[in-house]
Structure 1
Amino acid sequence: MPAPTTTPALSFESGLAVVRGVDAPEAPDCLRWDARVHALVAAGVHYPQLREWAASHGVAELSAPSTLEVPSTLDWRAPREAQQEGLGRWRAAGSRGTVVLPTGAGKTYVALLAIAATAAECCVIVPTRALVAQWFTQLADAFGVEKVGAYYGDEKSRRAITVTTYHSAFTLFEQDGARFGLLICDEVHHLSDGAEGDARSWHDALTIAPAAARLGLTATYPDGRDSMLAKLVGPVVYRRAIGEMTDAELARFALERRYVDLTRAERARYDGCTARFEAYTEKSGWRSAAPTGSEAWKKFVASTLRNPSARRAWRDFLERERIVRMAEAKFDECARLLRLFPGEQSVLFCGGVDMAMEVSRRFAVPMITASTPASERHAVLAAMRHGTIRAVATVQVLDEGWDVPNAKLGIVLGDSTRGGVRQHTQRLGRLLRRQGDQVASLFEVVAAGTWEFYASQKRSAGVRRVAEPQLGFGL
């Protein structure tokens, strides 16, 4: 912490913008007196505003972002039209805001261009450790490995370009936030408004960060739930949908739903579980116990800890989910699709770890889940890129942020969101990186006559919307 001084000065200290030697009436409204540091303070996010004020009022700045030496020998390919437009719109918006591009359209390349254009030390924030490794590799290839560090878990390497997770960002910014002039928030939809949980704590990290330039990247922007996101990162400055870029920059794609029936034994168990669960629901009235469905569900789940009847209903619900997830006909249909596309590399999206394990066992393919070690995960994805393995089974881990351009067949055997449009769109996006004239195919295998039918209708309707060309005039 800088030594006390009566000379007017602005600095960044432990997540705060600190102004010393200035009377409160002369200071901007965002500043408040803090007796602990004997100075005026504001959240770090106000630092760019205070920098401008300090420059015009003769206040010395003691903390300034470091510059990045961009190699003059960068030999990058020319950006595509959408990438160039996205970067241009972001810079025109004062280098603040979110660029929304479909998966496979090259959002990472937009980030590389932004880093080079800003020429300031940069922090890239991602939601998972797997993405830390992926970003590290791409940044090292672009700018040189000596300029790139990773800050998460036991790894605490700070460099001119530092990759961190949303979980670790607060600590990094509290200690070294002043050095970064640019923040890049990958998969920024994770910062959608939330009353509790990760989103709120991740907002705190961006609130203390002093960086003026901020770039958000996502394929699925949380429209209507972005008030804090727009405040901390900036509004959407550029958006393209899948349908607008198909053929031109993304692979053409086909979506198809395949219905399968439960066996007689599976149907009997499913109907029995459903009857008992609905009987308890009607008797207890838990669905009307709260103003929203999500709040009512939380109350029901909480009641299972103390109410034996609720606990039995909960077990029936989970068994019903398992019956649909592990339906025998799904494995048969998956085998038929793999035979139908013998030359395609495939991603088999499963609804749970138990299903992924069974798919891996039956079809002798590797499996990637949240518990898969990073080294094994990297080896499997590298083998996919090199074509030495044909398919991989996964639950949620590969829904976003990984890159295997030659995978053009996706088989959705179940989801983990009961019809979430975002997850389905992300899964489709995994297949859309253009490889010549290859066409991507995404098949949904749905258990007919079960709750999964309605979940499939919900998620697929959203994908159809994003798949339609959007020319701006409703055409």
Structure 2
Amino acid sequence: MPSVRTTLRLPPLVVAPSIAFRAGLAILRGVPAARAPDWLRHDPRLDALVAAGARYPDLRDWALAHDIPEATSASNVFEAPLLDPRTPREAQQEAVTRWMAAGQRGSVVLPTGAGKTLVALLAIQRTGTNACIIVPTRALVSQWFTQLADAFGAEHIGAFYGDEKEVRALTVTTYHSAFTLLERHGARFTLLICDEVHHLADSATGEARTRLDALLIAPAPHRLGLTATYPDGQDSWLVRALGPVVYRRSIGEMTDAELARFAIERRYVDLSPSERARYDAESERFETYAEQSQWRTQADSPDIAWKLFAASARRSPAARRALRAFRERERVVRMAEAKFEETARVLRMFPGEQAVLFCGGTDVAMEVSRRLAIPLIAASTPASERHAILHAMRDGTLRAVASVKVLDEGWDVPNAKLGIVLGDSTRGGARQHTQRLGRLLRRQGDQVASLFELVAAGTWEFFASQKRGAAVRKVADSQLGFGL
């Protein structure tokens, strides 16, 4: 009699409903797709419904309404007292109040020197939760770490970048490292603070920058953006990730009351005969090629047209010669002899003022540093040397410092009330110019901040200076002037 084989059928495995955050994803298990929120999608690898981590607060609210527990949860309460002795100004208090009223989401726009860092400290205190602070550079990681340690105690502060990977209740990271931190430890933070959020502006094509990816996977429901130069008109993705602008004050509105008054003078200098000859020759070589090739008309956007031209220089000897001529023309203007002479003259005009010299390139900064015996801070300057120079500026033992972009944003040089612009790296960018002016505006009694622009007359730099000037038009009372 043949044997009869029977198959034992097991009942399907039943997974209890639960939610969790893991690897940058909001995850829902044990619930059919038909009964789940429609913004969740099935992931066959996890056999669960998932969404980007930024939707985790929404998933938590939905789960709470349906009595579905979190698979893992940890306390994000931060209860350390704020030790900062400063009394918040009216604008700082109002900024935090507006941000809280907006659901603890959105950006605060305040001029440099108006105390955006204290706004962040007050936001941490008011929310009472763990926070991740994201900044654009490693130098700012060090500055924020120090300020947070002074305000709440070093035992609560961590840093996550490069070889440093210490995660604590308040953790500072860079936009470059934020994705890795929030993917692994995002559930530990209820508040995100993004410094200098203009770095998150939409790309030239209107798309999101990759730096926003970290914010899209983070489960933190509360988000605060800080900047002095908000990217109006280029903030579609920024608004989605952080929220809209909830508070804004301009330089003009805060001058006298909370910022130092300021004066701006544009000083024109002439190229020497030999410099003028080189400038004209290189300009003619570059413009001749531009007319022949018509590369400026190859795209609707000047930025895209320039990228196409620069790319063509890899293949075309003529384009390569034109690009070389363009760079030499820029160098002639940047290194004009009269600029160094005028810089020394301005410094002699203000013998008692500490000064910041804003340079358009490393070559300029190195030359002015050599000629005037002024320390230089560039991207390659070691952190220890950078801190020593800035400390000497703060305690008054150092007269001046030359900078290439590093001091344009984020760093405080409160005693410096004299700025000299020898050139910029953006060909008249309004944002860079506003940030530079802001370095001088931290109020010190009744001192007036002075910013001198040194412009090579009869060159492309004239038009760049006109663009820069549009960035600092005040909306309140008129600024001081030196007769121009």
Q: For the superposition of Structure 1 and Structure 2, which TM-score range results when normalised by the shorter chain? A: over 0.9
> What is the alpha-carbon distance in structure 2 between the residues aligned to residue 57 and residue 50 of structure 1?
11
Partner of 2:163: 154
Question: Is residue 113 from structure 1 mapped to residue 122 from structure 2 by the alignment?
Answer: yes
Going from structure 1 to structure 2, the CA distance change for 1:410 and 1:224 (only over 3 Å counts) comes to same
Equivalent position of 1:439 in the other structure: 448
Out of 10, 16, 25, which is 1:7 matched to? 16
In structure 2, stretches of 5+ residues that fail to align are 1-12, 480-484
Choose from 412, 415, 429 the match for 1:420.
Answer: 429
Which of residues 345, 350, 358 is equivalent to 1:336? 345
Q: Which residue of 2 aligns with 1:275?
A: 284
Q: 1:123 to 1:129 in 2, by over 3 A?
A: same
The amino acid that maps onto 1:9 is: S
Structure-2 change in CA distance of 1:274 and 1:466 (3 Å)? farther
In structure 1, the partner of 2:219 is 210
Of 233, 244, 250, the residue aligned with 1:224 is 233
Cα offset, 1:25, TM superposition: 1.2
* TM-score normalised by length of structure 1: 0.96
* Distance (Å, rounded) in 2 between the aligned partners of 1:65 and 1:115: 18
Aligned length: 467
Q: Does 1:138 align with 2:147?
A: yes
User: Which aligned pairs between 1:29-428 and structure 2 lie closer than 5 A?
Assistant: 29-64=38-73, 66-72=75-81, 74=83, 76-194=85-203, 200-428=209-437
- Determine if contact 1:66/1:121 at 8 Å carries over to the other structure: no
Q: Which entry has the higher C-alpha Rg, 1 or 2?
A: 2
Higher mean alpha-carbon deviation, 64-73 vs 398-407, is at 64-73
Structure 1 residues 353, 152: CA separation in 2 closer, same or farther (over 3 Å shift)? same
The 8 Å contact of residues 105 and 242 in structure 2, kept in 1 or not, is answered as yes
In 2, distance between residues paired with 1:291 and 1:123?
Answer: 40
Contact 1:65–1:121 under 8 Å retained in 2? no
User: Could you list the per-position Cα deviations for residues 367-386 of structure 1 after superposition, in whole angstroms to 9, with x for gaps in the alignment?
Assistant: 01111111111111111111
Gaps of 5+ in 1: 471-475
How far off is 1:201 after superposition? 1.5
Provide closer, same or farther for how the CA distance between residues 404 and 459 of structure 1 changes in structure 2, counting only shifts above 3 A: same
Query: How far apart, CA to CA, are the structure 2 residues paired with 1:446 and 1:7?
Result: 70
Q: What is the rounded CA distance, in whole Å, between the counterparts of 2:279 and 2:320 in structure 1?
A: 18
SS at the partner of 2:103?
Answer: coil
Kindly state the Cα deviation for residue 292 of structure 1 after the two structures are TM-superposed. 1.3
Letter paired with 1:92? A
Distance 2:74 2:454 in 1: 51
The answer for the alignment partner of 1:473 in structure 2 is none
1:450 pairs with 2:444: no
| Contact in 2 for aligned 1:409/1:440 (Cα 8 Å) | yes
Superposed CA offset, 1:15-63 (max 9, x none): 0000001111111122100000010000001011111111101110234
CA distance in 1, matches of 2:22, 2:285: 59
Give the counterpart letter for 1:48 in structure 2: P
The verdict on how the C-alpha distance between 1:172 and 1:265 changes in structure 2, with shifts beyond 3 A counting, is same
**Judging changes above 3 Å, is the alpha-carbon distance between structure 1 residues 467 and 448 closer, same or farther for their aligned structure 2 residues?**
farther
Q: 2:72, 2:407 → 1: CA distance?
A: 40
Aligned-pair CA distance for 1:395: 1.1
CA contact (8 A) 2:22 2:183 kept: yes
The whole-number CA distance in structure 2 between the counterparts of 1:468 and 1:424 is 20
Q: Deviations over 1:363-416 (max 9, x none)?
A: 001001111111111111111111111000011011000011100000000000
1:30–1:46 Cα contact (<8 Å) kept? no
How far apart in 2 are the matches of 1:312 and 1:197? 33
Shift of 1:72: 4.2
What is the CA–CA distance in structure 1 between the aligned matches of 2:236 and 2:75, rounded to whole Å? 30
- Measured in 2, the distance between the counterparts of 1:72 and 1:410 equals 37
Paired with 2:235 and 2:134, the residues of 1 have a C-alpha distance of 18
Who is 2:5 aligned against? Answer: none
- Cα distance in 1, alignment partners of residues 439 and 206 from structure 2: 27
Cα drift, residue 65 of structure 1 = 5.7
1:203 and 1:340 map into 2 onto residues whose CA distance is 46
Using the size of structure 2 for normalisation, the TM-score is 0.94
The letter for the 1-side match of 2:318 is S
Rounded Cα–Cα distance in structure 1 between residues aligned with 2:460 and 2:360: 14
Q: CA RMSD in A?
A: 1.7
Kindly report structure 1 stretches of 4+ aligned residues shifted beyond 4 Å.
Answer: 195-199, 465-470
2:237, 2:151 → 1: CA distance? 32
Secondary structure in 1 matching 2:351: coil
Q: How far is 1:467 from its partner?
A: 7.1
